[in-house]
Each structure stands twice: as structure tokens, then as C-alpha cells.
């Protein structure tokens, strides 16, 4: 997407679709005059109410009389940053549906919007651009005709050009924000593609290949441990989950170091289960295909590391991705098995469907030991219970550090990827006690999201600045919930905002 910030007269804009944003009160006050200036029939005001995300496409004309296609863009009543991003998404989505590749936005009111929303112009510009990437995203590369067996076939064209028309005083901030928005937006698209690719297109090594490609392009190191190395390192959790599979596991390390001073070392750990059948503790068949999204944590770690590298954040960021599928079969691990993890801690596998925590256990201990990070954050589609608790829009999270918890909560508010903190109280550890091993990987009926977090906590070796984010709900929109179902890229923007806070 080519993004241009211009101060030229709106009447000279030659885009195929020009958006005029309105809050509902602006529409009441200035709607008539502004629409009349473009020769638009005022009857539309009977229907268009400027609700957040509402779009009405109309035909008017320029001052010089040439025809102009206009999108009225609703921002809602009290216009929040979320409303603004939502409007961008609807606008871009409508353009793509209309096969329009060249769009423009009248940002003359962006300074005023900065005042009402309490966010700076750069943040607003970034959110709008990110919203355009989000709304224009389609996943159609596996349709016949576009099919490419490597999964990198011709993609939906999306938006080729976005023009932002601003007042002279806002140019610099808009350009800065737009540049960041395009990084975040494109990294989210990459993450969504990985999540949407099904198990027969994306196996553990394919995540590694994607990571290597990104690392080469954006200047960070990628190391991949294959099965032999994983065996000699003694990553018993990852190996146990991989036992039933025909595809080898991979342990992927992304290593981004900034040019200048390193403010902090941050480890980001992402669950990379390319397909979760449940293993011998097999899942019910209904909607099992959605478990291709069980590597969403890995995708968001890759997206966030790429974004951080492109934005040159002054942090040493290590991404750790344990990757495998979780399959049943004669060689698969069995319920009741006791395994030894990388840390030496033994685990009774009460349920083979609680596989995410087994592979994360190895990655957390390895990351803590090898990189001595100041901060450790893991992100995973870990428990169905988190969907029961918080639904499909919000992620649950835990932290043993109140400052980090606050940063993560605020990052959620700013990125629009909302999170809610749950407790790590020790009383929950009772549920994962094992008779035969150090710990059980399941904790019985109640508080499944919390007992999963208590399990992970055992593998950070006393680290005092750790957080776990459970994205089982918001990582994937099931059929019928949105315009584009499937992978959402949730986590990329959230993690990037957290990283930015760590350098503040």
C-alpha cells in the first residue's frame, strides 16, 4: 500500500473513493453545508447517522465539475480511538468489496479529533492506516486459480494507494504515524496469513521458513533447532507433544538487536501448535478445523518482532517459538505418561489436549536460562476456559509484576486489543498437584485459564517480571462473526505497544 500525505485541495483529489469522516454531532452541525459543497443530495441524511463504522457511498462532484465518488464515514457519538480504527476498517473493506484500489481520506479535522480523543495526530494516523490494512485483508490464496502450493500465491489486491489530505500543520505527525501504521498493519496481515493457512500448508518448519524470510528482510537473526537438537537439548515437552506426528518439530529463535544502546532484554514466547487435534485425548469433531489457529501466539510473536525490528526499537528482543502439531496415533503420548521437561521438572500428562503448556514450559525455561531477559511475556491460544470467561473479543492475562501488568493493560486499551487481568493466587496451584510427578498438566474443572497460568509459572524459575497472555478467544473469529472470518492477528499490535512502553 502506497501512502501519501498531501495538503492539496480536496477538489483536486483524484482518488476513486474519497472518505469524509463525521462524528454524529458534526453531521448534525455541518453535514448539510459540507455535503452541498460536493453537490450531494441531502436526502442521504435521512439514512446516514454516522454510527461508528457506518459507510454510505454516494456520487457527487468536484468544484471543477468532475464526478467524484464519496464515502461518508461514521465515527460515532463520542469518537474513541477504537471508533476511528473501526471506521478505517469499514472504509477499506467497502473499497475492496467495490474493487477500488485507490482511496483517500479527508483528514482536515484530525487536529480537532486529537483534542476530542486525547490521542496525538500521529497515533490517529497510525490507527487509521492500520485499520485500512485490517479492513482490506482477505484470505483467498487457496482458491483455485490463485492456488500456489507454497501458500504464497497471488493475494487479493487490496488497497494499492491511500491518500491522506491534511492541513499543513499536521503533515509531519501524519507521515510519522502513517509509517508506523503501515508497519503494524502489514505485520498483522502476515500473522493473519500464517493463522489462516491450514495444517496441510503450514507445519512447524514452515513457521521457521516464514521467520527466516522476515529476519533476512528486516535485519534480525533467526536460529532454528530441528528434531536432533531439540532432543539433545532435552526439550521433553515439545518432543512429547510431537510424538504422534509425521512432521518434525521446530524450535525457532528470533533475535533482534538494535544498533545503539540496549534498554532492556525482552523474551517473547509464542505457542506454535500448527494443528491441535487434542492427541489421544481427542477433541470433538465439530469445528476441529479451527484448531489450525493454535499457532496464533507464534504468529503474533513473529509479527511483533518484525514490527519492532522495522521500527528499530532500542530493545534486545528474543522471540521463542516451539512449534509442532498435536496428533493422535500409535506413537503419540498417552494420558498418564510422565515426561521430563527442559528444566528437569517432571510432568504427569493428565490430558494430551493440554499440550500448549508442555511446549511453552520448555520455551520459557530455555529463554530464561539462555538470554537472562529483563521481561518475559508468553502469548498462547491456551484454554477454551478463557473464551468462557471473557468471550471472543478480549484476552485474559496474568502477571507476577504489577508494573508490567499495568503496561499490558494500557497497551490493550491503546491498541484496541483488549486484555483483562486474572489472578495468580497460590490457592489455584492445589489443582495441578500430581501424585506421581512434580506437576500435572491439567487442573480439573474450575478456573482452567488460571490453572494453566499456574502451570507455566513453575517454568520461569523465579523470574519476577513475567506475563502470560491467553488469546484463545480473540485470535480467531469463527464462521459468521465478521466480514473476514479466521485469523485476526491479535497480539501483534498489543505486544508492540507493550514493547514501546518498556523503553519509555
Binding residues for Zn ion (CB under 5 A): 273, 276, 294, 356
Q: Which of 310, 357, 368, 458 is catalytic?
A: 357
Residue 448 contacts ligand BES per CB under 6 A: yes
Nearer to Mn ion, 355 or 417 (CB): 355
Name residue 256's beta-bridge partners.
317
By CB under 5 A, residue 353 contacts Mn ion: yes
Annotation marks residue 283 as catalytic: yes
Smallest CA-to-CA distance from 214 within 317, 305, 323 is with: 305
The 251-290 contact track toward ligand BES, x by CB under 6 A, reads -------------------------x--------------
Under the criterion CB under 6 A, does residue 431 sit at the interface with ligand BES? no
Contact code string over 302-341 relative to Mn ion, x by CB under 5 A: ----------------------------------------
| Vertex 215: Cα angle to 212 and 219 (nearest 5) | 150
- Cβ(151)–Cβ(201) below 8 Å: yes
- Position 470 contacts Mn ion (CB under 5 A): no
Instruction: Write out the three cell numbers for 266.
Output: 525482552
Whether 357 sits among the annotated catalytic residues: the reply is: yes
N residues, the chain = 504
Size of the site for ligand BES (CB under 6 A): 15
Distance between CA atoms of 333 and 105, rounded to whole angstroms? 55
**Do residues 277 and 385 make contact, with C-beta atoms less than 8 angstroms apart?**
no
Q: Which grid coordinates belong to 75?
A: 465515527
Asked whether 20 and 68 are in contact (CB, 8 A), the reply is no
Q: Which residues pair with 221 in a beta bridge?
A: 255
Query: Which of 442, 465, 477, 493 forms a contact with ligand BES (CB under 6 A)?
Result: 442
CB of 292 to ligand BES, least distance (A): 11
Residue 381, burial from CB neighbour count under 10 angstroms (0-12, 13-18, 19+)? buried
Burial call 353-373: b when 16+ CB within 10 Å, e when fewer: bbbbbbbbbbbbbbbbeebeb
DSSP 215-271: HHHHT-EEEEE-HHHHHHHT-HHHHHHHTT-SS--EEEEEEE--SS----EEEEEE-
Q: In whole angstroms, what is the distance from residue 38 CA to residue 19 CA?
A: 12
CB of 238 to Zn ion, least distance (A): 13
* Least CB distance to ligand BES at residue 417 (A): 16
Which of 15, 383, 431, 440 binds ligand BES (CB under 6 A)? It is 383
Q: Around 187, how many Cα atoms within 13 Å sit in the side-chain half-sphere?
A: 32
CA distances from 47 to 23, 39, 114, 215 (A): 15, 17, 28, 49
- Residue 250 within binding range of ligand BES, rule CB under 6 A: no
Rounded to a whole number of angstroms, the minimum distance from the CB of residue 452 to Zn ion is: 10
Q: Which does 136 bind (CB under 5 to 8 A by kind): Mn ion, ligand BES, Zn ion, none?
A: none
Min dist CB 413 to ligand BES, Å, is 24
Question: How many Cβ atoms sit within 10 Å of the Cβ of residue 231?
Answer: 14
Report 463-492 residues binding ligand BES (CB under 6 A). Answer: 472
For the CB of residue 394, give the shortest distance to ligand BES in the complex, in Å: 14
Binding partner selected for residue 376 from Mn ion, Zn ion, ligand BES, none, CB under the kind-specific 5 to 8 Å limit: none
Q: What residue has cell string 537472562?
A: 372
d(CA 377, CA 375): 7
Binders in 262-281 for Mn ion, by CB under 5 A = 276
The residue (of 62 and 326) whose beta carbon lies closer to ligand BES is 326
CB of 384 to ligand BES, least distance (A): 3
Out of 54, 101, 130, 294, the residue judged to bind ligand BES by CB under 6 A: 294
Q: Which DSSP letter does residue 447 get?
A: T
Does position 242 bind ligand BES by CB under 6 A?
no
What's the rounded Cα separation, in Å, for the pair 273 and 291?
9
Q: Is 381 in the site for ligand BES (CB under 6 A)?
A: yes
> CA-CA distance, 381 to 470, in Å (whole number)?
6
CB of 299 to Zn ion, least distance (A): 14
Residue 502 is classified by DSSP as H
Stretch touching Mn ion by CB under 5 A, among 116-124, 354-362, 420-428, 438-446: 354-362
Q: Give the position of cell 521481561.
A: 375
Which partner from the list ligand BES, Mn ion, Zn ion, none does 319 bind, CB cut-off 5 to 8 Å by kind? none
Q: Considering 49, 257, 264, 283, which one is annotated as catalytic?
A: 283
Query: Looking at beta carbons only, is 180 or 353 nearer to Mn ion?
Result: 353
Count of residues engaged in binding Mn ion, rule: CB under 5 A: 3
User: If DSSP codes are grouped into helix, strand and coil, which group holds residue 34?
Assistant: helix
Segment 313-372, which members bind ligand BES (CB under 6 A)? 351, 353-356
Q: How far is the CB of 446 from ligand BES (least distance, A)?
A: 11
Q: Which residues bind ligand BES (CB under 6 A)?
A: 276, 294, 351, 353-356, 381-385, 442, 448, 472
Q: Which residues carry out catalysis? A: 283, 357
Amino acid at each position: 500500500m502506497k501512502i501519501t500525505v498531501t495538503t492539496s485541495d480536496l477538489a483536486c483529489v483524484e482518488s476513486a473513493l474519497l472518505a469524509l469522516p463525521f462524528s454524529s454531532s458534526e453531521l448534525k452541525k455541518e453535514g448539510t453545508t459540507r455535503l452541498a459543497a460536493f453537490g450531494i443530495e441531502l436526502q442521504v441524511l435521512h439514512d446516514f447517522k454516522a454510527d461508528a463504522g457506518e459507510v454510505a457511498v454516494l456520487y457527487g462532484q468536484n468544484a471543477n465539475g468532475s464526478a467524484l465518488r464519496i464515502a461518508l464515514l461514521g465515527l460515532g457519538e463520542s469518537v474513541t480511538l477504537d471508533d476511528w480504527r473501526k471506521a478505517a476498517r469499514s472504509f477499506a473493506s467497502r473499497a475492496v468489496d467495490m474493487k477500488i484500489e485507490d482511496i483517500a481520506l479527508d483528514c482536515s479535522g484530525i487536529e480537532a479529533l486529537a483534542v476530542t480523543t486525547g490521542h496525538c495526530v500521529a497515533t490517529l494516523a497510525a490507527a487509521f492506516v492500520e485499520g485500512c490494512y485490517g479492513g482490506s485483508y482477505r484470505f483467498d490464496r487457496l482458491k483455485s486459480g490463485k492456488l500456489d502450493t507454497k501458500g504464497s500465491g497471488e493475494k487479493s489486491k487490496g488497497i494499492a494507494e491511500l491518500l491522506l489530505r491534511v492541513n499543513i500543520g499536521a503533515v509531519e505527525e501524519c507521515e510519522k504515524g502513517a509509517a508506523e501504521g503501515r508497519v503494524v498493519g502489514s505485520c498483522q496481515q502476515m500473522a493473519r496469513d500464517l493463522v489462516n493457512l491450514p495444517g496441510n500448508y503450514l507445519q512447524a518448519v514452515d513457521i521457521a521458513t516464514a521467520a527466516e524470510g522476515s529476519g533476512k528482510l528486516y535485519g534480525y537473526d533467526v536460529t532454528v533447532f530441528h528434531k536432533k537438537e531439540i532432543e539433545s537439548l532435552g526439550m521433553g515437552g515439545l518432543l512429547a507433544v510431537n510424538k504422534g506426528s509425521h512432521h518434525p518439530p521446530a524450535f525457532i529463535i528470533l533475535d533482534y538487536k538494535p544498533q545503539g544502546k540496549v534498554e532492556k532484554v525482552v523474551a517473547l514466547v509464542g505457542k506454535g501448535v500448527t494443528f491441535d487435534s487434542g492427541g489421544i485425548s481427542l477433541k470433538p469433531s465439530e469445528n476441529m478445523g479451527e484448531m489450525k489457529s493454535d499457532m496464533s501466539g507464534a504468529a503474533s510473536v513473529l509479527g511483533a518482532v518484525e514490527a519492532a525490528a522495522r521500527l528499530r526499537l532500542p530493545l534486545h528482543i528474543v522471540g521463542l517459538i516451539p512449534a509442532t502439531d498435536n496428533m493422535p496415533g500409535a506413537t503419540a503420548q498417552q494420558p498418564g505418561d510422565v515426561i521430563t521437561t527442559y528444566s528437569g521438572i517432571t510432568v504427569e500428562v493428565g490430558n494430551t489436549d493440554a499440550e500448549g503448556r508442555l511446549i511453552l514450559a520448555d520455551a520459557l525455561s530455555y529463554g530464561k536460562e539462555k538470554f537472562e531477559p529483563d521481561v518475559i511475556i508468553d502469548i498462547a491460544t491456551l484454554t477454551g476456559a478463557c473464551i468462557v470467561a471473557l468471550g471472543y473479543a478480549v484476552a485474559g492475562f496474568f502477571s507476577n509484576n504489577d508494573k508490567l501488568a499495568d503496561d499490558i493493560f494500557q497497551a490493550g486499551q491503546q491498541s484496541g486489543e483488549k486484555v483483562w487481568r486474572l489472578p495468580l493466587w497460590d490457592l489455584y496451584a492445589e489443582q495441578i498437584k500430581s501424585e506421581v510427578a512434580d506437576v500435572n498438566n491439567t487442573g480439573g474443572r474450575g478456573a482452567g485459564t488460571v490453572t494453566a497460568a499456574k502451570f507455566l509459572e513453575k517454568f520461569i524459575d523465579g523470574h519476577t517480571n513475567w506475563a502470560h497472555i491467553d488469546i484463545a478467544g480473540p485470535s480467531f473469529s469463527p464462521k459468521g462473526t465478521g466480514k473476514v472470518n479466521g485469523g485476526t492477528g491479535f497480539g501483534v499490535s498489543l505486544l508492540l505497544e507493550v514493547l514501546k512502553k518498556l523503553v519509555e
